[in-house]
Structure 1
Amino acid sequence: MGNPQDGAPTLRLLGLDFADLTLPAVVARLAARPADAPFSYVVTPNADHLVRLARRPALRPLYHEAGLRLLDSRVVARLARLMGLPAPQVVPGSDLVAALVGQAIAPEEPVTILGMPAEAVEVLRRRTGLNRIAHHDPPMGFEHDPAALVAALDFIEAHPARFTFLAVGSPRQCMVANALARRGVARGTGLCIGASLLFLCGLEKRAPQPVQRAGLEWAWRLAADPRRLARRYLVDSPAIVTLLRQEARLRRN
């Protein structure tokens, strides 16, 4: 199987072609890719990512060259529909990771993780039963250190797995995934998933389901960690409204 988005219905929003698939359909597509398939990667842009892409167009190839693009924002989807724009189905990265670990990855299957403290990986082993985790936690700022970046790429290539979890934050994880795809050595599927594994192992708590369904998970996270997230949610991300309005206006003209 080639790129997991091949043949999938897509909807274009803010310059990206998103797969319009349900979570079970995404899990089935990813589970069908063999471990030795040419490396492809999954991105799950949210409002913060989309605003960053508008401000830093040089990052766009990282998303355009992904094998699968999924919208990870109920807020963006609802705002788009309110403005008359098409919006793909929302597949949160955290839900995708939980489904893959729970349904598609056997306990004895090797997986590779880039990022997360070693102690968090040990918690993940105990809580999920995953027994064959290859783990490398690169230093802060590794994306600006050629030697550290190459070390991260080499580690992933030396530990092939059907699923590689890239948990070093955006846009770093997309930079790593794109570099792996361009080098052409790695195999399987890379998942740019941020803090999703921390949610899965219980070291960070997700909002309750009703809060998630209401599109207010961002407010839950802001209340839990205001110092780190205030700028993201209160200063940067609201620009998504302007971007969607501009797109709606362009489509009408």
Structure 2
Amino acid sequence: MASLNSIATSSRSVSALPFDQVQSEVPTVSLLGLDFADLSLGAVLGWLAARPVNAPFGYVVTPNADHLVRIQRQPGLRPLYADAMLRLLDSRVVARAAKATGLPAPAVVPGSDLTSYLVRQVIEPAEPVTILGMASEAVDALAQRWGLQRVAHYNPPMGFERDSGSMEQAIRFIEDNPARFSFLAVGSPRQCMVAHAVALRGRARGTGLCIGASLLFLSGHELRAPRPVQRAGLEWAWRLAQDPRRLARRYLVDSPAVLRLLRHEARAKRQLQ
């Protein structure tokens, strides 16, 4: 992982620009029907830090192989990702596979890395932070470990996305607890469903981050793969070993289908040339 100082330097160089200029200069790479931001982690941090706290609510998604396969199988989910203000590729495996088939690949910015640097470096201890999801004890541990003094937290019930009243409560929680950064940690695609609904209503402000289990690594409730394992593109194998019953189908059955999707896209592009 890059040092905090090097990330800070990159972030400051981007955040020194007016936000409307920063926003217009985000380069993108199209892959599997989504336009991904082609920015380094430091540039993304600067982009987010430059965004005004009172800006209309916009959200960030970090699709991985599992998400990309699910979108292809359930096209109704595509707007949840397409309407995000920033899409970041969270899979070194997908990036390498894309390049192997001759497709361009955006920079990889893992959601867990982004979350870590936001909490450790960008967010001020006294500023409000909103968290949807996670157990109360994990949120308490997170706040204590990283000095977060003003955390608003709500953990919706299981299956809340299928109940209109519970879904409304989750949406209202984001709207009623304004913060520069709101972390949506209720899993995919639920967190994207909430973020999308909040953005469409237009009442909230700030930036929503659909980050899954990322905050659990910072709270100490889950152990992230060592850095060499991450760089090798094997973080999925580490997570599978930690929780095989829950993750076996995702990583061994569903996610590998992304390789077929990439080959199909590469073949279609070659035929058009």
Displacement of 1:4 in angstroms is 7.3
Q: Provide the residue aligned with 1:109 in structure 2.
A: 127
Displacement of 1:3 in angstroms is 11
Q: Provide the residue aligned with 1:209 in structure 2.
A: 227
5+ long unaligned stretches in structure 2:
1-18
Q: Structure 2 CA distance, aligned partners of 1:213 and 1:84?
A: 21
Q: Provide the residue aligned with 2:149 in structure 1.
A: 131
Matches within 5 A, 1:34-113: 34-113=52-131
SS class of match (2:119): helix
Task: Say if 2:14 is the partner of 1:18.
Answer: no
SS class of match (1:155): helix
Task: Say if 2:248 is the partner of 1:220.
Answer: no
TM-score normalised according to structure 2 size: 0.91
Runs of 4+ in structure 1 over 3 Å off: 1-6
Q: CA RMSD in A?
A: 1.1
Q: Provide the residue aligned with 1:170 in structure 2.
A: 188
Q: Provide the residue aligned with 1:234 in structure 2.
A: 252
Displacement of 1:35 in angstroms is 1.5
Q: Provide the residue aligned with 1:252 in structure 2.
A: 270
What letter corresponds to residue 67 of structure 1 in structure 2?
A: M
Task: Say if 2:184 is the partner of 1:184.
Answer: no
What letter corresponds to residue 250 of structure 2 in structure 1?
A: R
CA shift in 2, pair 1:176/1:2, >3 Å: farther
Q: Which of the numbers 196, 205, 217 marks the counterpart of 1:199?
A: 217
What letter corresponds to residue 178 of structure 2 in structure 1?
A: P
SS class of match (1:150): helix
Q: Structure 2 CA distance, aligned partners of 1:202 and 1:5?
A: 34
TM-score normalised according to structure 1 size: 0.98
Displacement of 1:6 in angstroms is 3.7
Q: Which of the numbers 150, 169, 181 marks the counterpart of 2:168?
A: 150
Q: Structure 2 CA distance, aligned partners of 1:203 and 1:117?
A: 10
Deviation readout 1:13-61 (Å, 9 max, x if unpaired): 0000000000000000001112110000000000000000000000000
CA shift in 2, pair 1:192/1:3, >3 Å: farther
5+ long unaligned stretches in structure 1:
none
Q: Structure 1 CA distance, aligned partners of 2:213 and 2:22?
A: 22
Deviation readout 1:73-129 (Å, 9 max, x if unpaired): 000000000110000000000000001111110000101000000111000011111
What letter corresponds to residue 24 of structure 1 in structure 2?
A: G
CA contact (8 A) 1:2 1:37 kept: no
What letter corresponds to residue 118 of structure 1 in structure 2?
A: S
Deviation readout 1:162-181 (Å, 9 max, x if unpaired): 00000000000000000000
Aligned pairs, number: 253
Displacement of 1:156 in angstroms is 1.1
What letter corresponds to residue 131 of structure 2 in structure 1?
A: I
What letter corresponds to residue 214 of structure 1 in structure 2?
A: A
CA shift in 2, pair 1:221/1:143, >3 Å: same
Displacement of 1:235 in angstroms is 0.5
Q: Structure 2 CA distance, aligned partners of 1:77 and 1:2?
A: 29
CA shift in 2, pair 1:60/1:54, >3 Å: same
Q: Structure 2 CA distance, aligned partners of 1:180 and 1:242?
A: 34
Q: Structure 1 CA distance, aligned partners of 2:20 and 2:183?
A: 19
What letter corresponds to residue 192 of structure 1 in structure 2?
A: C
Displacement of 1:223 in angstroms is 0.7
